[in-house]
Amino acid sequence: MKKVRNLINITDLTVEEINQLIEVADDIVANHAEYENICAHKKLATLFFEPSTRTRLSFEAAMLELGGSVLGFSEAKSSSAAKGESVSDTVRTVGCYADIIAMRHPKEGAPIVAAQRTTVPIINGGDGGHFHPTQTLTDLLTIKRKKGRLDNMTIGLCGDLKFGRTVHSLIEAMLRYEGIKFVLISPQELQVPDYVKEKMDAAGAEWTEVETLEEAIPQLDILYMTRVQRERFFNEEDYVRLKDSYILNLEKLETAKEDLTIMHPLPRVNEISVEVDDDPRACYFFQALCGKHIRMALILFLLGIKRA
């Protein structure tokens, strides 16, 4: 089998490679015309066994803007998974039709299995409650563009830190930068899993856990809000009890720093009230745009294509 790079976990990329991707993402904005046909005759397949708006569509928009084409499916029931086909077989087949595959699957580890069965690069677009490395690249680009740096800051992560895969990947990524402090804001039941805490401890990171947004907000440079992950709960009662644990509104922002960056991977349900959208500190739709730029850079990187 041909050896290709995959992106399953954010640590599959070195810090230097992430810096390069950020540079290319900025170059894409600055010199857009140079990239318009760079992926001509290349195909991206998006295999989404779970719902998605931003991840799938930003991948597809990214490939189209690079002059390539896209194919794929947006729900398991429109693929042969509905007939009982294994992920391995689906991916092995699609590897015959596309040059690169972005996939999302409800089972943790599914992209690892997929990567073993195909010769084309596999990108994990989210596997269950585990990881979401391309959201993390999006988050890093957003932070870099807003703050001008990726080190020396206090990041508050709020909401469903147990099932929120974007949180797990972002923590892992930020552990590699100097001077990062984490404030983990969640109800007890939705705290960060132990394996993530172990990674923070192993890296010697500074972290605290609190239960209210109010006690965390004044110290934060970044506030990363998340949705309670209804689809990963075992029962609806627990979801209903916990879903509105945190609602960010303008009143809560009164004690926040002037230059706070408010992020959210989206979709939002109730956790940020719409009145916050017009606050200059709200960056979540800008973040969605960053997602397209960094995915363009990632596709080029994994296909080994460079601007002439």
Q: At closest approach, how far in Å is the CB of 284 from ligand NCD? A: 10
Using CB atoms within 10 Å of the CB of residue 206, give its burial: 0 to 12 exposed, 13 to 18 middle, 19+ buried: exposed
CA distance 153 to 134: 21
Choices 113-121, 171-179, 198-206, 262-270 (CB under 6 A): range interacting with ligand NCD: 262-270
Q: Per CB under 6 A, which of residues 165..194 are in contact with ligand NCD?
A: 165-166
What does the angle CA 141 – CA 143 – CA 145 come to, to the nearest 5 degrees?
Answer: 65
Q: How many CA atoms lie within 13 A of 98 on its CB side?
A: 28
Angle at 252 between CA 291 and CA 191, to 5 degrees: 65
> Catalytic residue among 42, 43, 55, 168, which?
55
- Show contacts with ligand NCD in window 38-97 (CB under 6 A): 54-55
The only residue of 265, 271, 290, 295 in contact with ligand NCD, by rule CB under 6 A:
265
Cα-flanking dihedrals φ and ψ of residue 161, to 5°? -85, -10
Task: State the nearest-atom distance from the C-beta of 132 to ligand NCD, in Å.
Answer: 5
Distance CA 274, CA 258 (A): 19
Which residue among 43, 105, 130, 132 contacts ligand NCD (CB under 6 A)? 132
Number of residues located near ligand NCD, criterion CB under 6 A: 11
C-beta of residue 288 within 8 angstroms of C-beta of residue 166: no
268 catalytically annotated? no
| Candidate segments 15-23, 112-120, 196-204, 260-268, binder of ligand NCD by CB under 6 A | 260-268
Q: Catalytic site residue 83? A: yes
CA–CA dist 74, 25 (Å, integer):
26
User: Which of 70-78, 110-118, 244-252, 264-272 is the region at the interface with ligand NCD (rule: CB under 6 A)?
Assistant: 264-272
In the complex, minimum distance from the CB of residue 55 to ligand NCD, in angstroms, rounded to a whole number: 4
Q: Where are the alpha helices (DSSP H) in the chain?
A: 15-30, 54-65, 87-94, 110-116, 133-147, 165-174, 194-202, 213-216, 236-242, 284-303
Q: Quick check: 126 binds ligand NCD (CB under 6 A)?
A: yes
Q: Active site includes 307?
A: no
Catalytic residue, chosen from 104, 168, 264, 292, is: 104
For residue 243, state whether it binds ligand NCD (rule: CB under 6 A).
Answer: no
Closest distance between ligand NCD and the C-beta of residue 233, in Å?
13
CB-nearer residue toward ligand NCD: 42 or 292: 292
Q: Residue 59 has which token pair?
A: 């991948």
As annotated, the active-site residues are: 54-55, 83, 104, 132
**Residue ranges in contact with ligand NCD by CB under 6 A:** 54-55, 126, 132, 135, 165-166, 227, 265-267
